[in-house]
Amino acid sequence: MSEKTPAVTIRDAGPMDRVQLRRAVVEIQEYERRLHNSRLPGEQIADAYLAWIENQTGKGGALLIAEIDRRFVGFVAGWIEHSDAIAETADSNRFGYISDVCVTPDHRGQRIASRLLCAIEEGQVAHLFAYR
C-alpha cells in the first residue's frame, strides 16, 4: 500500500469502541453545528444519539469501525428502512439508509469513507436479499 492508501481494517463495532464512537459523534455534531445553528452541542447529545444509533443498527443494520494499525479512524452506521409508498412495489419500498459516516481529521482524503460505505453496502445488500 502506498502512503496515500493505508491498510485499513473494517470490522463490526463492539462495546470497546464506545469511547471512540462517542468522540466521533461529538465531532460530527460540532461540524454540523457550525453549518446550522439549530444543532445542539455535541457533548449534550452524544450519549443519547449513540444509543439511538446502536438501537437502530441492532435491528438488522450495521455499525462498522475502520482502523489503521488497530487505531480507530472512522465509522459508518446504517440499516434497512421500509416505506409505504402506495405506488411502489414491496422491493422498492426497502432501501439502505446511512445515518452517519465519519473519518478522523488526520485520516481524511485517504478513501476511508469510501471503504466504509462499500463494506456496509456489501453487508446490507446481503441482508436485503436474505430478507425476501
Residue 4 lies in a domain: no
Q: Structural domain of residue 45, as residue ranges?
A: 10-130
List b or e across 37-76, with b for residues whose CB sees 16 or more CB atoms inside 10 angstroms. Answer: eebeebeeebeebbeebbebbeeebbbbbbbbeeebbbbb
pLDDT computed for residue 126 by the predictor: 53
Kindly provide the b/e burial profile for residues 84-107, where b requires at least 16 CB atoms within 10 angstroms of the residue's own CB: eeeeeeeeeeeebebebbbbbeeb
Assess if residue 112 is contained within a domain.
yes
Q: How many domains does the chain have?
A: 1
50-74 average pLDDT score: 94
Cβ atoms of 89 and 117 within 8 Å: the answer is no
Is 5 inside a domain boundary?
no
Residue 92 has what pLDDT? 83
Q: Which residues pair with 95 in a beta bridge?
A: 81
The partner residues of 77 in beta bridges, in order of sequence, read 63, 100
Q: What is the rounded CA–CA span in Å between residue 90 and residue 84?
A: 8
pLDDT at 33 exceeding the cut of 80: yes
Q: What is the mean pLDDT of residues 40-49?
A: 98
Output the domain CATH number for residue 21.
3.40.630.30
Mean pLDDT of the region 9-16: 95
CB-based contacts of 29, cutoff 8 Å, min separation 6: 39, 40, 41, 42, 45, 46, 49
pTM over 0.95: no
pLDDT at site 82: 86
